[in-house]
Structure 1
Amino acid sequence: MENNFDLIIIGAGPGGYVAAVKAAQLGMKTLVVEKDRAGGTCLNRGCIPTKAMLHASELFREMKSGEEFGIFAKELCFDYGRMLSYRQDVVDKLCGGVEQLFKANGVSYIKGSAVLEKDSSVSVTEEGEKKSFRAKHVLLAAGSRPALIPVPGIEQEGVLTSDELFQLTELPKSLVIIGGGVIGVEFASVFSSLGVKVTILEVLPSILANMDKDFAQNLKLILKKRGVDIHTGVSVTKIERGEEGMSCSYTEKEAEQRISAQYVLCAAGRRPNTEGLFGEGVSIALERGRVVVDEHFRTSMEGVYAIGDLIKGMQLAHLASAQGICLVEELAGEERSIDLSVVPACVYTDPEIASVGLTEAQAKEQGLSFSVGKFMMSANGKSLISKEERGFIKILAEKESGAVLGAQMMCARATDMIGEFGGAVANRFTVPALLRAMRAHPTYNEAVGEALEEVFGSSIHSAPKKR
């Protein structure tokens, strides 16, 4: 393999591998180095395996409620080992697909440990052999790893991160989840659906605290109905090993509480994966552990760039991919093809949650004059058919222009439908423009039309607004 490239990318996750393929398509000689497996955290330990487990566990829960549809399944059970095999099969196919993309597009790929040196070269250790490579540009896309909160006992056996939870070969009997964000509620959904006793401990006043408040209120009720015990506004003080497994002490409303479970899952966010990334003498600007970049993803080191979970911002696979594409387009002298300010956020619970653009709280903070159209899914025919009535679609639009500012959805297929509103916000489409296209009946998507109509108080299937 040659030692000189146009672009060297450290990390083959959604940011790195997408940037590599795009760079190759634009005529850049590209090398990707990944120390683990192609696909990064997302494909191997994050998005994909989590969603596979959500699908399997929700299917089991739906089958248990089959009597509502006149369907009776006798002696219904599941094989956790086969669930794990199904999950791994999905992962293997997608990871293999990434490697095939490299081959098809002429991207050089090394499975080894990469280190950025002070002269901007990249040292790669592959099977014990160290080699040096150079490029006009170096892109850092090493991703992130689970973060641990500073609590006594957090390092002991029995306290798991999301990575370690995936390594269990037997279903936990009980689980305490520290953190009620996206990671926490998705794992709560998986294991509660399989009959595991799950408790969530969240330090903030609500679960999903960084999203629209309607999401938190509705999801809390749904999870509690499914047996999940949720405590918000609490502070975990220590974790100990006891007779019943792990004992987790916490303060709630100034009172000391304790709960025991077989395992404790720390789902308190992720931190940049910079350990071992920089060689001796490398001085690159960091802020709270994250690589500092400008609006063009340039670091403080000439010719070195960073994207994804390494830098400040939302830690989402699709954002990292979009950043990688935009960076490579700029390096090739082209204009960005994606608006990086419009980022959809998704939670794969049941019902699904999705949001893009501004929420009501954010629009009020900015002093904007806006209207809200909200349609409850209990009036949607497809939702009634599938008995997924609890949920809503909410749309914000500027009062004067009618331009869509944001959308929030909590319903079946929300994560698929939110794409329409990403395009609407990015292109400043108006509510009347979106209403020009009719929506098929019966579908979940026709509720989008109802919510759009409700912006003006004219939805067919909603109660009239007071004028």
Structure 2
Amino acid sequence: MNGFDLIVIGGGPGGYVAALEAAKLGKTVAVVERDAVGGTCLNRGCIPTKALLRASRVFREATCSEELGIHVQNASCDRAAMYAHVQKVMAQLRSGIELLFQKGNITLLHGSAQIEAPGRVLVDGTPYEAQNLLIATGSLPAMPPIPGIHLPGVVTSDQLLQGDGVDCKRLAIIGGGVIGVEFAQIYSDLGCAVTILEALPRLLPTMDREISQNLSMILKKRGVSVYTGASVQEIASGDGELLCRFSQKGSDLETAADCLLVCTGRRPNTEGLFAASFDFPMERGYIPVDEQYRTQIPGVYAVGDVVSGGIQLAHAAEAEAKNAVHAMFGGAPVKNVSAIPACIFTEPEIASVGLTADAAKAEGRKVTVRKSLTSANGKAVVEGAERGFAKLVFDADTDVLLGAQLMCPHASEMIGGLTASVNAGLTAEQLSQTIFPHPTVSEILSL
């Protein structure tokens, strides 16, 4: 029998970080992965989309730089070559993870895992045992029950990043969340006609309302058609194109596309994970855990997208993974997970942490909001920022920072410091003592 201190099921951010953390503690570790290490983030999410965003941004800047005195003639875009570059980036990062596994003496088991009982896993039929099991199998794109959803040309983000629809000239997107707006940015920058259909009243419905409004205006200015409050009725095909029929404000409308991206949410990746004889408690496919990431089965833990009520972000899974490993081996948490930042890599970038003013008020708090505009920031103006701002939300009674919302260049880099400030419970007076370098976009945080 093959025995370990820990078997991790899933080689994504939660899984490989947990394995490396346990190896640092001197534990024997195996990771089971049926696909490529790195999970959704590296192979079908964060990394490939950011690589495409960089490529599409360079193309847009090359073709729209006259105001800078730069004229590029006959600029063209080879999308197949772009996607080949993305594959190179992914391969480099995968090899880096595998090298870390080798240095940490972590056993990588390629295959499909099935949990037979606490501490016992089959990997393609071969049994393995461990003192602890950690489930980090992540999530998959969810497909809503729309007639025509399985027609050729209707794709998920996974398929789009693998090259399906790479040459489309008209892209329709069902879903105006993070994935939807980032792909809208990519394909509109490449000169595609892009349409977003969002069922809720605004794009990015979980973000600050002003961020949603500003992003909608910016996308429309760049030629993206945005329909909110749109209910998709069906998808049909004909004459070499897809027709997406929807209703909005009582009117029946349709949009034509070469490719239709569906990004309306994700579902837990737990199908087939447990043997039929193993009655494992779940909630609609998600796994409930306690504050130490323990499931209801002794010795079995879970982190990341698969957790019931969890935050589906790679860095959240990584933090949870470290805390779970320390919990299972008798240690204290090493990460503060009370404030998890979120970033969206449109242009301008968007980042948020903690409470928005609306969320704080819904909790019955009185708040003070400090807002600065990028239009008055030298570096942001130099970089051509559009409609940007920073909001800092303070408790009106204690002056403690409750949250921050940024829409500006480099927002994703700046939110880390604000996360530390929220975690530390810093006040407006303490933050006002900070000196920000000039000229930087970070000066908009100066109080």
TM-score using structure 2 length: 0.97
Q: Secondary structure in 1 aligned to 2:441?
A: coil
Is 1:42 aligned with 2:41? yes
Contact conserved, 1:24 with 1:105, CA < 8 A, in 2? yes
Q: Deviations over 1:124-181 (max 9, x none)?
A: 01xxxx3111111100001111110111111121110111112226421111100000
Look up the match of 1:200: 196
Is 1:131 aligned with 2:123? no
Q: Deviations over 1:219-261 (max 9, x none)?
A: 0000001111000001111111111411111111122111111
Is 1:105 aligned with 2:107? no
Which consecutive unaligned segments of at least 5 residues does structure 2 have? none
Post-superposition offset of 1:400: 3.1
Which consecutive unaligned segments of at least 5 residues does structure 1 have? 454-467
Distance in 1 between residues matched to 2:138 and 2:93, nearest whole Å:
18
Contact conserved, 1:244 with 1:260, CA < 8 A, in 2? no
Is 1:152 aligned with 2:147? yes
Q: Among 359, 363, 369, which residue is 1:372 paired with?
A: 369
Look up the match of 1:173: 169
Q: Secondary structure in 2 aligned to 1:100?
A: helix
Instruction: Tell me the amino acid that sits aligned with residue 332 of structure 1.
Output: F
Look up the match of 2:287: 291
Look up the match of 1:313: 310
Contact conserved, 2:44 with 2:158, CA < 8 A, in 1? yes
Post-superposition offset of 1:365: 0.6
Distance in 2 between residues matched to 1:18 and 1:174, nearest whole Å:
39
Instruction: Tell me the amino acid that sits aligned with residue 140 of structure 2.
Output: R
Following superposition of structure 1 onto structure 2, how do residues 340-359 of structure 1 map, counting pairs within 5 Å? 340-359=337-356
Distance in 1 between residues matched to 2:426 and 2:27, nearest whole Å:
35
Post-superposition offset of 1:341: 1.7
Is 1:336 aligned with 2:329? no
Look up the match of 1:447: 444
Return structure 1 stretches of 4+ with deviation > 4 angstroms.
none
Look up the match of 2:10: 11
Q: Secondary structure in 2 aligned to 1:291?
A: coil
Instruction: Tell me the amino acid that sits aligned with residue 418 of structure 1.
Output: I
Look up the match of 1:250: 246
Is 1:184 aligned with 2:183? no
Q: Deviations over 1:7-63 (max 9, x none)?
A: 100000000000100011012211101000010111001100001001110111112
Which moved further from structure 2: 333-342 or 357-366?
333-342
Q: Among 159, 162, 178, which residue is 2:157 paired with?
A: 162
Distance in 2 between residues matched to 1:361 and 1:402, nearest whole Å:
17
Post-superposition offset of 1:119: 4.8
Q: Among 258, 261, 267, which residue is 2:257 paired with?
A: 261
What RMSD, in angstroms, separates the aligned Cα atoms of the two structures?
1.2
Post-superposition offset of 1:332: 2.4
Contact conserved, 1:118 with 1:280, CA < 8 A, in 2? no
Q: Among 123, 133, 137, which residue is 1:142 paired with?
A: 137
Contact conserved, 2:402 with 2:422, CA < 8 A, in 1? yes
Contact conserved, 2:173 with 2:261, CA < 8 A, in 1? yes
Percent of residue pairs identical: 46
Post-superposition offset of 1:389: 4.2
Distance in 2 between residues matched to 1:301 and 1:108, nearest whole Å:
24
